[in-house]
Amino acid sequence: MIPFNKPCTIGNEETAIKEALKFSKLSGNGPFGKKCTDWLENRLACEKALLTPSCTAALEMTALLTELGKGDEVIMPSYTFVSTANAFAIRGAWIRFVDITPDTLNIDPKKIEEAITERTKAIVVVHYAGIACDMDAIMDIAYHYGLWVIEDAAQALLSTYKGKPLGSIGHFGTISFHETKNYTCGEGGALIINDSSAVERAEILQEKGTNRSQFKKGMVDKYTWRDIGSSFLLSDLNAAYLYVQLQHADSINDNRKHSWSKYEEALRTLDPISLPYAPDNCEHNAHMFYIKTKNETERDQLINYLKENDIMAVSHYVPLHTSQAGEKYGRFIGKDNYTTAESSRLLRLPLYYGIGEEAIEHVVNTVHLFYKA
Ligand SMILES: *Cc1c(COP(=O)(O)O)cnc(C)c1O
């Protein structure tokens, strides 16, 4: 069976974990955590990176940092993972879902403007499949209306927009190191802070609302409760695992891109399906290879056919506005031209670090056979 995903392992993770055990400093913001945040700050050229237990937790931190709550509205795509919305719904904010564009499946900037009201405080964009949103248009709108921009870059580490790393363009970016993402430590994430005025408060929120991080830097002689907060920290054991993957990030990226291109070349000529699209100025990280079939019936038939041939292919998001919680915590604004239609015909093919060329050949041959039949 060719699995849909295999969590990335490079080989040296165990050594790094043993080293972390030697430091005997296993809580958050430890020696390996520092190496990871230095790496992120360097690669993303951001003000500050903080490791979090997940991308979900990083998103929750952005809801606290922007002080979003009851009576405030947030605009985001409906075609995304639950955490994008949950992080704001949990604070009492109201979600205004808008449509995506059919080419990248990212939020449509034109639809953002139509959804803005006096209560709108933030735009949360999702770089689907590691392919960038139209950030110039989005930042222009945000600037014009005075809105926060949060990039859910869960899938987008090492992708760029006009040369700028994704996650480093809005006020905040959030990254995931879940095992389904390109670089992982099982469960983990990062908050990317691009607004220097938010750094101090973010460090306090991360440490249960205390100024422990200032204490550790020797800036104060004891630490106390300063603000609301939570335990938004990643254990140094996870950070040790993660650091190995970050050190090999470029070769992991190359390997994935090679596999992605193999799929692209082999399926490009297959008329009945459409393939992912990345705008010219957007370098992506080969997070995902999806195809879009004619309709949902054909998609489900193809998933079954692949399964019969030992290949795991899967659909993706159920549009949030159609879900039970989505109906309770938000509303779709404007017409759903693409969100439901595109999600119902999308399927993702197996893609992970180290998937062999033979596996990819088997997948593309099977897809071709399906359409010949
Ligand atoms: C994976 C993912 C998340 C959640 O990441 P966790 O680290 O599991 O919390 C959030 N948003 C998007 C777009 C994702 O793909």
Q: Render pLDDT for 306-321 as a digit per residue (tens, 0 to 9).
A: 999 999 999 999 999 9
Q: How far is CA 193 from the centre of its chain?
A: 15
pLDDT band at 304 (very low <50, low <70, confident <90, very high): very high
Span 335-359, average pLDDT: 98
CA gap 84, 317 in Å, rounded: 12
Query: Would you state the pLDDT for residue 212?
Result: 94
**Whole-Å CA distances, 70 to 56, 65, 73, 121, 274:** 20, 15, 8, 11, 41
- CA–CA dist 81, 104 (Å, integer): 16
Give the number of the atom of ligand 1 that is nearest the alpha carbon of residue 176.
Answer: 7
What is the CA(60)–ligand 1 centre distance, in A?
Answer: 12
Cut 0.85: pTM above it: yes
Q: Whose CA is nearest to atom 5 of ligand 1?
A: 55
Work out which ligand 1 atom sits closest to the CA atom of 188.
Answer: 7
- Say yes or no to pLDDT of 73 above 90: yes
Ligand 1, residues 5, 80, 81: which to mutate, most atoms within 8 A of Cβ? Answer: 81
- Checking if the pLDDT of 109 tops 90, the result is yes
pLDDT in tens, 153-204: 999 999 999 999 999 999 999 999 999 999 999 999 999 999 999 999 999 9
What are 2-13's pLDDT values in tens digits?
999 999 999 999
137: Cα within 13 Å, side-chain hemisphere: 12
Instruction: Name, in order, each residue with C-beta under 8 angstroms of 266's C-beta and a sequence gap of 6 or more.
Output: 360, 361, 364
Locate the ligand 1 atom nearest the alpha carbon of residue 180 and give its number.
1
Closest CA to 78 of 131, 53, 115: 115
Give the rounded percent of residues in the chain with a pLDDT score beyond 90: 98
134 Cβ closer than 6 Å to some ligand 1 atom:
no
Model confidence at 25: pLDDT above 90: no
* Beta carbon of 184 within 6 Å of any ligand 1 atom: no
- Whether 83 is in the pocket of ligand 1, judged by its Cβ within 6 Å, is yes
Q: What is the atom index within ligand 1 of the atom nearest the CA of 54?
A: 7
Separation of CA 62 and ligand 1 centre (Å): 14
| 25 phi-psi bin (left φ>0, alpha ψ -120 to 50, beta other) | beta
- The structure tokens listed for 213 are 């991080």
Looking at residue 373, its pLDDT comes to 86
Q: Tens digits of per-residue pLDDT, 113-169?
A: 999 999 999 999 999 999 999 999 999 999 999 999 999 999 999 999 999 999 999
pLDDT digits (tens, 9 = 90+) for 238-270: 999 999 999 999 999 999 999 999 999 999 999
Instruction: Work out the number of other CB atoms within 10 angstroms of the CB of residue 258.
Output: 13
What structural domains and CATH numbers belong to the chain? 13-247 (3.40.640.10), 250-372 (3.90.1150.10)
Residue 357: band (very low, low, confident or very high) from pLDDT cuts 50, 70, 90: very high
Nearest to 93 by CA among 75, 61, 65, 69: 69
Using a 6 Å cutoff on CB, does residue 78 contact ligand 1?
A: no
